[in-house]
Amino acid sequence: MISKHIIEELSRIVGKTNILSSPAQIKDFSTDGTKLVFYPDVIVFPKSTEKVSKILALANKEKIPVIPRGAGTGMSGGALAVKGGIVLGMNKMDRILYIDKENMLCKVQPGVITEKLQKEVKKYGLFYPPYPASAHLSTIGGNVAECAGGLRAVKYGVTRDYVMGLKIVLPTGEILNTGTKTVKGVVGYDLTRLIVGSEGTLAVITEIILKLIPAPEFKKTIVLFFEDIDSSIKTVIKILHAKIIPTILEFMDELCLDCIKEDLYIPASTKSMLIIELDGKKSSVIEDMENIEKICKTESRAKIYIPEGEEEQKIWDIRNNLSPSMYKLKPNKVSEDIAVPISNIPEMVSYIKWLEKQYNIPIPVFGHAGDGNLHVNIMFDKTKKEESDKAKELVSKVLRKAVELEGTISGEHGIGITKAPYLDIEIPAHGIQLMKRIKKAFDPNNILNPGKIFCRSI
């Protein structure tokens, strides 16, 4: 519990209108995309790097936990106040500081909503490709802290590939610039890369320099329906082997289709679907489309649907709402985001579908199949002990299999608290020790987002 005196001090730093501490206000900041609940003591909204620095210096002196928070859409509990303390709401630092068309980069504050930045840079003929399905809600700061991946990674990579430099505040309050505005730069250790994906445990990000690329001239969506799962996944591999690199290559299994069939016409006997987006020069997009159609007709026996006009956006809206729509199946879910090398996707998906039958628990699978990232949703009812126990067992089995298939336990959601008990499936003890020493070097009093990544249980 934070004392009245500290709350007054925080109020002096950020101003009375930028601090929340009533029970109702605290409740609004007690959860995130995981739907787990932990109550902070107070929420503050700094509006400058200097204010962030003052808050951290105070918290460090008083040894109070500080939890950076963007939009609270995180899927591994990174923004949750597991030990109480101060939630640092970064969403009021939401200015695009500049867009530099000549050097194809921009500088932004962390609270900018991802999709807003994408719309702004488009006006300059530029493109910021990382596209988490939460882009309409999540912040760039949250994306950088989680190294968000999303739908376009198959062609354009993930957030880390676009972060050129950062302004950060260390847990002790010191302010530091990392990185450069140049493509090349190898001076000292790469602190920018270390902070990207550090889940708000090493530093608070207050400014971000992002690389931009020329906006593609043309894009087109294709939807493919398959009568069995195997053919759809094999088609993913066939498309990539045909040297076609789609912007997006999304996979959904039959249970996912059950969740969206009210919104989208799905031919009878469909067991799996791929949604593909191609972009680039119009002539090359059309050529790739024709080649995909050829693969579907001659090898995959898929039904093809090419949406036009508003229907095209509707497909992506349905896709982006898929995750929440799964609660139609069961009231609770554990959402895993494993990734495996693409040639191992068929084995991974077959194993999950085998587990589904063995445990009699629905496990809808969808994902960014083009880059091997699969969202495995273990659906259960937490009021039923047997189902909760099964869900826990299933998580461990799925994560172990991903690592056995030379993949990873988290492709994009991070470790936070939900995956922390499983960290040692992938990282050996001496690797975890090294990471803990890095954490200590940044944060000697363990005030910044404590209880994340290295905790053994939720």
Judged by beta carbon, residue 97 or residue 183, the one nearer ligand FAD is: 97
Contact yes or no for 247/218 (Cβ under 8 A): no
Per-residue tokens: 45: 């909204």
CA 13 → CA 16, 23, 53, 87, 93, distances in Å?
9, 22, 10, 14, 15
Provide the residue type at 316 as one letter. W
Contact pick of 26, 56, 179, 199 for ligand FAD (by CB under 6 A): 199
The residue within the footprint of ligand FAD, chosen from 105, 106, 145, 329 (CB under 6 A), is: 145
Strands 96-100 vs 66-69: parallel, antiparallel or unpaired = unpaired
Q: How far is the CB of 386 from ligand FAD (least distance, A)?
A: 28
Instruction: Determine the size of the site formed for ligand FAD (CB under 6 A).
Output: 36
Taking CB under 6 A as the criterion, the residue among 73, 221, 231, 418 binding ligand FAD is: 73
Query: Residue 80's closest CA among 124, 53, 43?
Result: 43
Q: Closer to ligand FAD at the Cβ: 205 or 340?
A: 205
Give whichever of 411 and 426 is closer to ligand FAD, judged by the CB atom.
Answer: 411
Asked if 374 is part of the footprint of ligand FAD (rule: CB under 6 A), the reply reads: no
Does 450 bind ligand FAD (CB under 6 A)? Our answer is no
74 binds ligand FAD (CB under 6 A): yes
Among 40, 110, 179, 364, binds ligand FAD (CB under 6 A): 110
Q: Which is nearer to ligand FAD, 201 or 231 (CB)?
A: 201
The first and second tokens of residue 288, run together, are 């790739």
To ligand FAD, the closest distance from the beta carbon of 340 in angstroms equals: 17
Which is closer to ligand FAD, CB of 375 or CB of 390? 375
Q: Shortest Cβ distance from residue 86 to ligand FAD (Å)?
A: 12
Position 453, amino acid: I
Nearer to ligand FAD, 142 or 399 (CB): 142
- Taking the complex as a whole, the smallest distance from the CB of residue 67 to ligand FAD amounts, in Å, to 6
Q: By CB under 6 A, is residue 408 in contact with ligand FAD?
A: no
Please identify, using beta-carbon distances, which residue of 199 and 387 lies nearer to ligand FAD. Answer: 199
Considering only 19, 30, 38, 69, the residue that binds ligand FAD (CB under 6 A) is 69
The residues in 77-96 that bind ligand FAD, with binding defined as CB under 6 A, are 78-79, 90
The CB-of-152 to ligand FAD minimum distance in angstroms stands at 10
Question: Does residue 146 touch ligand FAD according to CB under 6 A?
Answer: yes
Residue 181 token pair: 């505005």
Question: Smallest gap, in angstroms, from Cβ of residue 297 to ligand FAD?
Answer: 31
Based on CB atoms, which residue is closest to ligand FAD, 78 or 85? 78
Q: Tokens in use for 102?
A: 């000549």
Which residues inside 411-430 make contact with ligand FAD, applying CB under 6 A? 412-413
Q: Choose which of 65, 132, 364, 370 interacts with ligand FAD (CB under 6 A).
A: 132
Q: Minimum distance from CB of 369 to ligand FAD (Å)?
A: 13
**Which span (65-73, 225-233, 234-242, 433-441) binds ligand FAD, by CB under 6 A?**
65-73
Binds ligand FAD by CB under 6 A, chosen from 300, 323, 408, 418? 323
Q: Does 141 contact ligand FAD by CB under 6 A?
A: yes
Site residues (vs ligand FAD, CB under 6 A): 32-33, 67-75, 78-79, 90, 110, 132-134, 138-139, 141-143, 145-146, 148-150, 199-200, 204-205, 323, 412-413, 449
